[in-house]
Amino acid sequence: MNRWCSNFTQAKQYADDHSMPLIAVMSKDGCSNCRVMEASFLDDVYKSWMNSSGFLFYFAHLGETGADITTAKKFIMEGNAMPMSRIWWKSNG
């Protein structure tokens, strides 16, 4: 898999079904740290790592709306420092 997913519910289900770790990231407008992070996602070194990492990735923006993004916000957000990220890896037991 090793790719970005745009649907949180599907990404988390895929990660659970395939025992893969999921990295979920949330950013927002006006966040200088978010801009730096987003720029790093375009870097060739990062892309190379991502493609060989064995992780599933999900990225969302705080301004997005809809049921899936609401689920993602509940999963990712804790506090108010941005960008926020969570790592999920379902236990096999």
Domains of the chain: 4-88 (3.40.30.10)
- Sign of CA pseudo-dihedral 56, 84, 63, 17: positive
* pLDDT interval class at 33 (50, 70, 90): confident
Read off the pLDDT of each residue in 54-74 and give the average, rounded to a whole number.
80
Read off the pLDDT of each residue in 37-50 and give the average, rounded to a whole number.
85
pTM of the predicted model over 0.75: no
- The strands making up 56-61's β-sheet, listed across from edge to edge, are 4-5, 56-61, 22-27, 84-88
